[in-house]
Structure 1
């Protein structure tokens, strides 16, 4: 399944030895004087990301040294698929299962390229022979799910509208024999999803709710909700053009939800999985919802629209209410929800808000363990007053501009029962610049951590 990870090595496979700065001297001491002299002569110091090629007796490459910050670093090998010459390589080191799995996953994540619209470079990626102790299932689940997030987020809105997002869910359902229902347009009103319809009705590409189900109905219910705003102009509270430049990524929460569903189904976890994705475009037309409109919601509370650019929480409230109605054992939503979360935590750390301390602790601990970190923000109850409305049960924004990520979480919490263990991940879903294994563009953040918690709890 992973093209750059090979089952067996061949006669042309080149040995690849990872070396840290601190460990280089010991490695050199065990080599022949000729090898040690060559490494010193070319100035190799074991700097992370650097490589040196050791020539063989025939003049070809006999061995590669790769500088790493730590051999068990997830990203230690992630830059090598693109930087090494095409060919096959095998790690020449004894790796325990955890390190071998991380090495293979880093290599796989570094072998991603989005080439739907542009011819890829002639030079392909270098191949790695599977490290002997690697957990192939874990690597394949994490890599293919991450690629799915990246592909969906990187696809521009012209080719990734609500219908195309629904098709991605249907393709996923077909692969794993899951059932999927898509509620479209007027049917959203007939089926009582008024907030989703209100946000998406201005677009000629009809809004919809994607509902995927998989697994034994007798197993514990795990429900994943993802924000699917396929493009966000801000609505009538129109964004400036500079703020729209990467708004194709505003369906990143939906991409995460589908990718997490993929991981669960690939693993065959004994859960009753449900994935709910409200998919809309927030655009401007004569039928746009307006500031100070009062919207009905599936759960019942009315919402005054303080800002049409806070649309994600409006579509999520209907989806969360439906998810909560089944009283799942675990409910997680992913959303590219607020700029405030990015101001607070930057692009790499999703903001976690959670109504269950045990779940929050599990998620943050898993994030650290699998190098997929997140940071918990409080659902600080005193800030809820800022969402009060004079004409409706709640406003979708505050007027003071403070704690925007937290107040968004407090808004969503209104639509989840206190007894439902719920986690909200406000994620950026984007790399602003390229790093080894993490190309510029769409990115999965919090995905592997969420899967680790679900697998541990229900696997």
Structure 2
């Protein structure tokens, strides 16, 4: 798996990207042989069309890739990844047809098209390689692709091989790569260090719960990323049915996403102070598992009535978010595969996010559109605050009724943060193959946040 651009090569095969609504003009500018070949094959730039123009003596003289119409392209993204998968192995370069954000998206799509999760099978051979197009920051795109690959690999790894210990090892490896500092509190030390809800959720597992705390950078604004690291979620004593438990290896998708984003930030050398907090647990069943109707006291001192042990993600995040506040960062961003309600609201492809800061929301929306990482703002709807307030504790971890589940979870988390805060309720999984996104784990929201950071933090 090579998620890098090819070295410059004078023999690279030129690619001409042709929009359907401008096909006549684009084809008219091609060399005679290519234009005649396109006409002979009725090539008119339909989205996903790939036509190889033969050379005089074997090989390929050029490639024509259909880019469709704007209306067709709007129905998905990363369209050049489709062409990259169709072409034979070789070195190619984009000769015409794209510029600006579209060119950058195409280049990243090509890189991501090479991703394969091959931990448990023989690695495939490299396919078509692309030379970095003029006008794009090749080094930046390669770092972004690496971060996305890290996220996908972590989510795709089965829970037997990706428990709290292995998630810690992934963070340790990332820390070593970027010369970051890392501290881990685990097992019963969580109790003495005042992380009671992280301990309560993870104590029934044979694999010790832990809080992973990584820091990098010593100047600039402070950014803290908090990722839900529930490495497998049985639902606890409110055990999930088999159909709901099948994808629970991805319940650490928030942690995987913030680690991928952290790699991008550190790899690009952004001038900020980064902190990454991951409560890593397995929500298991044993005689010492926490129970429905238990009252837990959080690190912040707020008490929480447990009405469903399957609403565990917000509990471990709450203790980590309280810690995040203690050094007054300029922005806290949490990412979690938190609620099924978010999937009902926006489906698997959009990243719903919450913030009270309109400027941050606008910056994120613009950035998401630029980098083809779609997001959707959801409301911290304050009239629903009463829904998370039970009669015998400060907070309820699972309000009855089923209404507004993503919103009430976000409101719950906001109770533990005083500094500027943004929360993502992501899915972290691609249900079926799509351009540059094979079925399996996928990063959501990370590239949008990365693109928006300069405006949100004044970098």
TM-score, structure 1 length as denominator? 0.95
Classify the secondary structure of the residue corresponding to 2:160: coil
CA distance in 1, matches of 2:155, 2:252: 7
- Rounded to whole Å, the distance in 1 between the matches of 2:372 and 2:399 is 34
SS at match of 1:78: helix
C-alpha separation between the residues in 1 aligned to 2:69 and 2:335?
A: 31
> What are the equivalent positions in structure 2 for 1:196-211 lying under 5 Å apart?
196-211=198-213
Contact 1:97 1:135 in 2 (8 A): no
Deviation at 1:95, TM superposition (A): 5.0
Q: Give the match for residue 171 of structure 2.
A: 169
Distance in 2 (alpha carbons) for counterparts of 1:280 and 1:97: 43
**8 Å Cα contact 2:101-2:371 kept in structure 1:** no
Q: Secondary structure at the match of 2:288?
A: coil
Which whole-Å CA distance do the structure 2 matches of 1:288 and 1:307 have between them?
12
Which whole-Å deviations, capped at 9, do the CAs of 1:164-202 have from their partners, x for residues lacking one?
Answer: 000111001101110001100000001000000000011
Aligned residues, how many? 454
Distance 2:21 2:99 in 1: 20
Counterpart contact for 1:101–1:136, Cα < 8 Å: no
CA displacement 1:313-361 (0-9 Å, x = unmatched): 0000000000011111011000000000000000011111112222222
SS at match of 2:161: coil
**Matched residue, 2:194:** 192
Structure 1 position 37, deviation (Å): 4.0
Contact persistence 1:98–1:134 (CA under 8 A): no
Distance between the aligned counterparts of 2:279 and 2:343, measured in 1? 23
Offset of 1:137 from its aligned partner? 2.8
Q: Unaligned stretches of 5+ in structure 2?
A: none
Alpha-carbon RMSD: 1.9
Corresponding position: 1:47 with 2:33: no
Aligned to 2:398: 397
1:130 alignment counterpart: 132
Q: Does 71-80 or 128-137 show the bigger shift?
A: 71-80
Once residues 238 and 382 of structure 1 are traced to their aligned partners in structure 2, the CA distance between those partners, rounded to angstroms, is 31
1:261 Cα deviation from its structure 2 partner: 1.3
Task: Specify the alignment match of 1:363 in structure 2.
Answer: 364
Instruction: Indicate if the aligned counterparts of 2:17 and 2:97 stay in contact, CA closer than 8 A.
Output: no
Q: Secondary structure at the match of 2:207?
A: coil
Contact 1:432 1:440 in 2 (8 A): yes
Q: CA deviation at 1:33?
A: 6.0
Match of 2:279 in 1: 278
Give 2:441's aligned residue. Answer: 442
1:214 Cα deviation after fit: 0.8
- After TM superposition, give the deviation of residue 94 of structure 1 in Å: 6.6
Aligned to 1:5: 5
Please say if 1:81 is aligned against 2:77: no
Once the two structures are superposed, the pairs formed by residues 345-364 of structure 1 within 5 Å of their partners are 345-364=346-365
Q: The residue matched to 2:451 in structure 1 has which SS?
A: helix
Kindly tell me: are residues 231 and 14 of structure 1, through their superposed partners in 2, closer, same or farther at Cα, counting changes over 3 Å? same
How far, CA to CA, are the matches of 2:304 and 2:83 in structure 1? 51
1:75-122: CA deviation from partner (whole Å, max 9, x where unpaired): 13222332210111111117545443322211111111111002234x
Paired position in structure 1 for 2:28: 29
3-state SS of 1:167 partner:
helix
Give runs of aligned pairs for residues 38-437 of structure 1, distance below 5 A. Answer: 38-69=37-68, 75-93=78-96, 95-96=98-99, 98-121=101-124, 123-216=125-218, 218-417=219-418, 420-437=419-436
- What is the distance in 1 between the residues matched to 2:81 and 2:416? 41
C-alpha distance after superposition, 1:58-91 (max 9, x if no partner): 1322111111136999613222332210111111
Of residues 153-162 and 448-457 in structure 1, the stretch that sits farther from structure 2 once superposed is 448-457
Q: What's the offset of the Cα at 1:274?
A: 0.5
Q: Deviations over 1:223-257 (max 9, x none)?
A: 01000000111111111111111111100000111
How far the C-alpha of 1:38 sits from its partner, in A, is: 2.8
Change (3 A) 1:126 1:35: closer
8 Å contact 1:80–1:110 — kept in the other structure? no
Q: Which moved more, 1:263-272 or 1:331-340?
A: 263-272
**Of 172-181 and 266-275, the range deviating more from structure 2:** 266-275
Moved more, 128-137 or 200-209: 128-137
1:272–1:366 Cα change, 3 Å = same
Give the gaps of 5 or more residues in structure 1.
Answer: none
Under a length normalisation based on structure 2, what TM-score does the superposition of the two structures give?
Answer: 0.95
Segment drifting more, 128-137 vs 304-313: 128-137
Tell me, in whole angstroms, the C-alpha distance in 2 between the residues paired with 1:30 and 1:197. Answer: 66
- Contact kept? 2:4, 2:142, Cα under 8 Å: no
SS, match of residue 62 in structure 2:
strand
Provide the secondary structure at the position in 1 that maps to 2:235.
coil
* Contact 1:100/1:132 (<8 A) preserved: no
SS in structure 2 at match of 1:68: strand
Q: Whole-Å Cα distance in 1 between the matches of residues 33 and 196 of structure 2?
A: 75
Q: By how many angstroms is 1:215 displaced? A: 0.7
Whether the 8 Å contact between 1:433 and 1:440 is mirrored in structure 2 is yes
Greater mean deviation of Cα atoms: 224-233 or 391-400: 391-400
